[in-house]
Amino acid sequence: MAHNIHSGRAGFHWSKPVVGILLLAMLFFTVMPLVFMFTASMMQKNQIVRMPYSWIPKPFFFQNYLQALKGNDGSWIFPRNMLNSLIVSSVTALTAVILASVTGYGLAKFRFRGRNFVFMMIMATMMIPFEAIMIPLYMVARGLHIQNSYVGLVLPFLVSAFGVFQMRQYLITFPGEYLDAARVDGMGEPGIFWKIVFPNCTPVIATLSILSFRGQWDNLLWPLLVIQSEKMKTIPLYISKFSEEKMTDEGAMMAVAAIASIPMFILFFSLSKYFIGGSAVYESRKG
């Protein structure tokens, strides 16, 4: 038995450096493409393709960022496309959080006939790929005359089935005693939700906000269908066009990618403390 205990301790001891090495490897493969993107965005084309690769630009070539902003045709449409993506992604994230939290709260804390059926139907929509419904959605958008508009870009993504699932699973663990106490004090259901439930859902709200924002920030297929005007195009469409033009070099392409990544970095680092710090609370509720 002593031998078994010793072996178990030895195995546990050796597992720590193995886990550390794996984490460092994951960190390396995650960070290095980002480092390459930012360094290459400040290099001339011949420096990027030179081997061995120099991780420090010599000299710093900031003209790539100027070309990224004005475009190969000098139209300066990039800031407008950036604004379009910010508006669409922000509105989608906001509506997804509000509608998913209200729906998830109703499915988690209210008992009514057909509740499980409604939840299963919402979950069933996650099994349908977007490619299967994009043509009917486009026909609806054309019938409503909302092409080349923010409404056309946002409308199909106002609520997320995954967001409803995420909010419901989180709110199932929310203590019902708080809700009962508020009802005894005479607070109505809207007040209970907005003053008690919603403020205590910060971890899941932060996670859903980031996922919803990123989903629309990276969305290429739907804007490609519903938008034809250059002024209404989003960042993925701009990048696609920019990379196809013959005058574009690797440095300018990396500059476009670097600028387009900035809003996601800002959003993640501004909200990361909420869902990372709140994960311990969520796990304690489950326990």
Nearest to 67 by CA among 263, 233, 260, 247: 247
Q: Is 138 exposed, middle or buried (0-12, 13-18, 19+ CB in 10 A)?
A: middle
| Higher pLDDT, residue 40 or 233 | 233
Residue 280 has pLDDT above 60, yes or no: no
Q: Given CA atoms 50, 51, 53, 57 in this order, what sign does their dihedral have?
A: negative
Nearest to 123 by CA among 100, 156, 146, 91: 100
At CA 23, angle to CA 18 and CA 26, rounded to 5?
A: 125
Query: Alpha helix (H) ranges present in 44-146?
Result: 45-48, 63-70, 78-109, 115-124, 130-144
% residues pLDDT > 90 (the chain): 32
Query: Is the CB of residue 168 less than 8 Å from the CB of residue 108?
Result: yes
Query: What are 184-228's pLDDT values in tens digits?
Result: 888 888 898 999 999 888 888 988 998 899 999 999 999 999 998
88-102, 123-137, 244-258: least confident range? 244-258
| Residue 226: per-residue pLDDT | 93
| Higher pLDDT, residue 95 or 273 | 95
Query: Is the CB of residue 176 less than 8 Å from the CB of residue 109?
Result: yes
The rounded distance, in Å, linking the Cα atoms of 128 and 120 is 13
| Residue 272: per-residue pLDDT | 77
- Tell the residue number behind the tokens 């089935």, with chain if given: 161
The rounded distance, in Å, linking the Cα atoms of 213 and 209 is 6
Which of 228-264 are b and which e, b meaning 16 or more Cβ less than 10 Å from the residue's Cβ? eeeebbbbbbbbebbeeeeebbbbbbbbbbbbbeebe
Terminal alpha carbon distance of the chain: 32
Residue 67 has pLDDT above 60, yes or no: yes
Residue 157 has pLDDT above 70, yes or no: yes
Mean pLDDT across 67-80: 85
| Higher pLDDT, residue 89 or 7 | 89
| Residue 62: per-residue pLDDT | 85
Mean pLDDT across 223-252: 85
The rounded distance, in Å, linking the Cα atoms of 103 and 45 is 51
Nearest to 261 by CA among 232, 235, 224: 235
| Residue 284: per-residue pLDDT | 46
Query: What are 8-55's pLDDT values in tens digits?
Result: 444 456 677 888 888 888 888 888 888 888 888 888 877 777 777 778
Confidence of residue 237 (pLDDT cuts 50, 70, 90): very high
Nearest to 55 by CA among 76, 23, 33, 70: 33
